[in-house]
A = this chain, B = another copy of it.
Amino acid sequence: MAREKTSPRNKTSPGPTHKGGTRRRSPQIQKPKSRIQQANERKIIDAAIKQFSRHGFRGTTIDQIAHRAKLSKPNLLYYFKTKEALYAQSLNYVLDIWLSPLETLNPDDDPETALSNYIEKKMELSRKHPDASRMFAMEIIEGAKTVRSVLDTRLAALTKSKRRVLAKWSREGKLARIDGAHLLFAIWAVTQHYADFEAQVLSQTGKTLRDRQFFEEATDTIKRIIFHGVIR
């Protein structure tokens, strides 16, 4: 509702999700992209993620992104026809980053190893890509209008499969008898908190995940809480 009002014309295009385009023409209608083109698009998307993650869609101006990417505003719009399209493509990037750790949760490991690896991957993501994490968080808080379809399909399929793994471990007596969905939410929430609420964490502890020791301490404490609880 806020978004439509921005633009006079209502382009419904989230743009083609096409990515990883190779140099030689693939058997599609799409034109191949030159090297400058790819480099510029990448620069723009990086700048866009930084800006969108701090100010949201409406709070960000094309000018700010262009300035960050060291391009002029019309030049940026040469690569991405509309602000909407740029937002959608940036979010696609973020989504790929966000989804990848979950795929590695291995059913053949024992639960402690598998969850330990998963928590570490999520924490590394919070450390290396806090902007991506924040942009994703904002999109969800704002109602997930743009990514809802991905959540309903790709993420839903992934969580369903991983919940089956967790349920199996439960039946085997290796894991507490709890609903896997809530366990996944808990892991997402706790690990992303250090990126999304960085300002608050910084205010209360004076540290961020860029502090190596703090990072280790946080990761270790999260594992201990989730694996063995705090009540003695």
Contacts and interface: CB of A to CB of B under 8 A. Distances in A.
Nearest to A172: B232
A134 B144 contact: no
Chain A, interface SS category: helix
Interface string A152-196: 100110010000000000000111101101110110111011101
Interface bracket on A: 35 or more
Contact of A222 (B111, B142, B182): B182
Interface in A66-104: none
Given A221-B182, A229-B228, A231-B227, A140 B197 contact: yes
A56 B56 contact: yes
A22 interface: no
A181 B203 contact: no
Contact of A142 (B1, B2, B56, B193): B56
Interface stretch (A11-19, A24-32, A38-46, A57-65): A57-65
Copies in the complex: 2
A2 B55 contact: yes
Contact of A217 (B112, B182, B190, B218): B182
Contact of A225 (B151, B178, B193): B178
B178 A224 contact: yes
A200 interface: yes
A155 B111 contact: no
Contacts of A218: 182
Interface of A: 1-3, 5, 53-61, 64, 111-112, 115, 134, 137-138, 140-144, 148, 151-152, 155-156, 159, 173-176, 178-179, 181-183, 185-186, 188-190, 192-194, 196-197, 199-201, 203-205, 217-218, 221-222, 224-232
